[in-house]
Amino acid sequence: MAKNFYITTPIYYPSGKPHMGHAYSSIVADIFARFKRLEGYNVLFLTGTDEHGQKIEKEAKKNNKDPKIFCDELSETFRSLTKTLNLTNDDFIRTTEIRHHKSVIDIWSKLVDSGDIYLDKYSGWYSVSDEAFYEEDEIEENHGKKISKSSGSIVEWVEEESYFFKLSSWQDKLIKFYEDNKKFILPESRRNEVMQFVKKGLKDLSISRTSFSWGIPVPKNNKHVIYVWLDALTNYISALDYPDTGSVKYKNFWPADVHIIGKDILRFHAIFWPAFLMAAKLPLPKRVFGHGWILSDDKKMSKSLGNILDPIEIIDKYGIDQLRYYLIKEVSLGNDGSISLENLKNCINNDLANNYGNLCQRVFSFIKKNCNNKIPKKSKLIESDKKLIDNLKNNLSKIEAFMNNQDLNEYIKMVVGFSFDANKYFNDSEPWSVKKKDPERMKNILFVIMEQIKNISILLNPIIPIATNKVLGAMNISNQNINLDKIKDENIFDHEKELNNLEILFTKIEDDN
Ligand code: MSP
């Protein structure tokens, strides 16, 4: 069976500078994409920008720009962020591209053909900032203004002619789908949220707007533009050449394996998207994973609260591997998590510099000094050697399962544990004290610790690719050749070849930095 894997990030509104929340969704998706490649999968990893709708039109006006020109500029900053974050996305889609336009029109026509669309009038609350309709019980008053209870953004009363999608008629089929596919929505708490919401009853959904024009016009009635969420969600298939369902990309990669999203956009992905797809008679994605929010001072990071930690500033100062590691280690993926510069520095110092970084540096320099800079061959391993190596290998299937259930925190906990154990092993085995009286023993210790550094580096590779590629490269293992099978392979080292120089991996951060 072909081992294909399709993973997506949300497509971002290019309405302002990218912030840590955006960086987080993308880094998380990138880690899974990289891991699946290590497992030997042919991966398609998609990200991009969501460029239509009232929010973007408003923002462009504020900046005195034509919306397309405005998007061209800001979309570039998101595209360049993919490089800064060291993402391995295979494609970057913009909803203003022709390939996407075609796809949205096709979906619209499919929904018309299936009898799921009708014309009526919408009157209700709308948040431009969330591009979302809200029911009366989902809003509250705050300082004289109506706001959404869930997002806190201001809502306005809208009354306009609108096309509707018969969402209500998909309620039972959605519930059945969630019941048949227990892992469609993860984590479990989000699944429960969605089930409850759907069971309460679904109303038909307004899927066109007439009070502005920045969007894809409704076929045969261009007074209307297609609701930006119907437009945006379609990106996941337009990037696969849909409506050309015979295309290799579509055939190999649809349905998607996992859509990584933030919890604030769960309803769109876990309710609307599958309903649209069912109505269009297309297969549904296998999973939607809703991660929590990155908080700063226990509040959601947002422009209006002024509590934004700028990912680019942090990367410039501390490095991208450092940021990737910190976000994954300290924030529990399914839950909200606070981040701070103080914790980031502690994490860099304790986990990266003192633990993994220091271990690599010590072992490499010991080998340089004592073994002509070549990894010694093993001859006879003793119990403590085998215990160290086997503990990692025997846990490999567990580790793969963590990743495949998006349980990044358990994954990293276990890998960091291996690294602590390796440090302890090196200290306890004291190769320096046996080098004279038992050089064979010293060689075995060095083989074992290098084997362990290799394996830990492979497992950390999706999270901190730059540092681990340096380590593996210094061992003469090319990063083109890294995969999980290399963990099982104890004959990977070239014992005749000298190690390459290993630069400092992580500099410790001093207090005033
Ligand atoms: N354009 C829509 C997504 C369409 S997908 C078909 C959108 N864009 S967004 O730019 O507002 O947000 C994109 C993602 O960033 C969302 O998943 C959102 O949850 C995430 N984050 C934005 N702020 C966040 C935090 N403070 N913390 C974590 N992620 C949050 O929504």
Choosing from 8, 238, 264 the residue with most ligand 1 atoms within 8 A of its CB, the one to mutate for a pocket test is 264
**Is residue 294 lining ligand 1, measured as CB closer than 6 Å?**
yes
Alpha helices in 375-438 (DSSP H): 383-394, 396-404, 408-429, 431-434
* Upper half-sphere CA count for residue 398 (Cβ side, 13 Å): 11
Average pLDDT for residues 430-452, to the nearest whole number? 96
The answer to whether 262 touches 28, Cβ cutoff 8 Å, is no
pLDDT interval class at 110 (50, 70, 90): very high
**Distance from Cα 27 to the centre of ligand 1, integer Å:** 13
**Is residue 241 lining ligand 1, measured as CB closer than 6 Å?**
no
Angle between helices 396-404 and 408-429 (to 10 degrees): 150
Q: Is the pLDDT of residue 25 over 80?
A: yes
Q: Which range has the worst mean pLDDT, 121-130, 308-317, 318-327?
A: 308-317
Give the model confidence (pLDDT) of 212-236 as tens digits. 999 999 999 999 999 999 999 999 9
Q: What is the pTM of this model?
A: 0.96
Q: Is the pLDDT of residue 68 over 90?
A: yes
**Is residue 264 lining ligand 1, measured as CB closer than 6 Å?**
yes
Give the model confidence (pLDDT) of 151-184 as tens digits. 899 999 999 999 999 999 999 999 999 999 999 9
Per-residue pLDDT, 100: 98
> Considering just the CA atoms, what is the radius of gyration of the chain in Å?
26
CA distance 209 to 131: 11
Average pLDDT for residues 266-277, to the nearest whole number? 98
Instruction: Please calculate the CA angle 484-489-491 and round it to the nearest 5 degrees.
Output: 145
Q: Is the pLDDT of residue 374 over 90?
A: yes
CA distance 435 to 450: 17
**Distance from Cα 13 to the centre of ligand 1, integer Å:** 8
The answer to whether 41 touches 85, Cβ cutoff 8 Å, is no
Q: Which residue ranges form the domains of the chain, and what is each CATH number?
A: 4-291 (3.40.50.620), 320-488 (1.10.730.10)
Choosing from 7, 8, 9, 13 the residue with most ligand 1 atoms within 8 A of its CB, the one to mutate for a pocket test is 13
Phi first, then psi: what are they for 275, rounded to 5°? -65, -45
Phi first, then psi: what are they for 378, rounded to 5°? -90, 155
**Distance from Cα 262 to the centre of ligand 1, integer Å:** 6
**Is residue 24 lining ligand 1, measured as CB closer than 6 Å?**
yes
CA distance 411 to 455: 14
The answer to whether 149 touches 99, Cβ cutoff 8 Å, is no
Average pLDDT for residues 462-491, to the nearest whole number? 92
* Upper half-sphere CA count for residue 369 (Cβ side, 13 Å): 10
**Is residue 233 lining ligand 1, measured as CB closer than 6 Å?**
yes
pLDDT interval class at 299 (50, 70, 90): confident
Kindly tell me the burial class for residue 122, based on how many C-beta atoms sit within 10 Å of its own C-beta (0-12, 13-18, 19 or more). Answer: buried
Q: How many helices (H) and strands (E) does the chain have?
A: 22, 18
**Is residue 289 lining ligand 1, measured as CB closer than 6 Å?**
no
Percent of the residues in the chain that have a pLDDT greater than 90, as a whole number: 90
pLDDT interval class at 305 (50, 70, 90): low
Across the chain, mean pLDDT equals 95
Q: Is the pLDDT of residue 512 over 80?
A: no
The residues pairing with 146 across neighbouring beta strands, listed in sequence order, are 141
Closest CA to 467 of 377, 366, 356: 356
Instruction: Please calculate the CA angle 152-158-164 and round it to the nearest 5 degrees.
Output: 105
pLDDT interval class at 481 (50, 70, 90): confident
**Distance from Cα 162 to the centre of ligand 1, integer Å:** 26
pLDDT interval class at 513 (50, 70, 90): low
